[in-house]
Amino acid sequence: MANEDLIFQYAMTRKGVAKYKGLCAEKCKELAKQLDDELDSDSASAQKIINLNDLLESEERKKSIWASMSRSLTDGIVFMETGRFPATDPDKKNKARRTIRADEQYMSILALESACEEPEKEIGECDRKMLEELLTDLTVREKEIYLLVNQSLIEASEVAAMLGIKKTTVERNIERAKAKIQKRKERSLYVYARGWAD
């Protein structure tokens, strides 16, 4: 709701900015007309021409500033509505460069390569014993949470929802489990045997 209020405020401000930009544009036209008339007249005053030219340049700068403000407000509105800045939107830039044409033959080769990949190796007896030893100091809850997050790759918030506990409790259990595993790792002969003691 706050976003919609902000969009509304930006839109109202943009209307005001457009009004002032329009006033500056009208003043620029008037000054340009006065300057042309002064240049065309027989009794043209150099000082008056210089003054009119300075006023016209000043109004042009003001108009440019109002136009820039209007563009910034419009970009802000678009960003709040879509989540992307129109000025830096990669979808508009180099669309042809980013387009990838999928060649059927190439895709079939990729599919064959992925099918021929080796299946995951099962862990050996030594590795299994090492993992069991590293996890021995953990409580049942810490082990469960640690394995869900690190082995099953489930988000901490999802684990909290599954177990009916708070996310901070899950994070605290993970930190405790990591500390216990690190302590055990420093004393483990299996870790030293594998050369992973660093």
**Residue pLDDT, tens place only, 48-92:** 878 888 888 888 898 889 888 888 888 888 888 887 766 555 555
Do the domain assignments include residue 118? no
Range of the domain at 150: 125-194
Do the domain assignments include residue 160? yes
Q: Which residue has the higher pLDDT, 5 or 97?
A: 5
| Number of domains comprising the chain | 2
Do the domain assignments include residue 97? no
Last residue of a domain, one of 48, 82, 116: 82
Question: 180 pLDDT band (50/70/90 cuts)?
Answer: very high
Do the domain assignments include residue 111? no
Do the domain assignments include residue 173? yes
Do the domain assignments include residue 105? no
Last residue of a domain, one of 16, 50, 82: 82
CATH code, domain carrying 148: 1.10.10
Q: Does residue 40 contact residue 117 with C-beta atoms inside 8 Å?
A: no
Find the mean pLDDT for residues 144-161: 88
Do the domain assignments include residue 42? yes
Averaged pLDDT score across all residues of the chain: 79
74 & 136 share domain: no
What is the distance between the alpha carbons of residues 122 and 31, in angstroms, rounded to a whole number?
A: 84
Do the domain assignments include residue 168? yes
Tokens linked to 7: 């969009």
Residues in contact with 77: Cβ distance below 8 Å, sequence separation at least 6, in sequence order: 7, 10, 11, 14
Instruction: Look at residue 165 in the predicted model and tell me its pLDDT.
Output: 92
Say whether pLDDT at 118 is over 80: no
Instruction: Look at residue 197 in the predicted model and tell me its pLDDT.
Output: 58
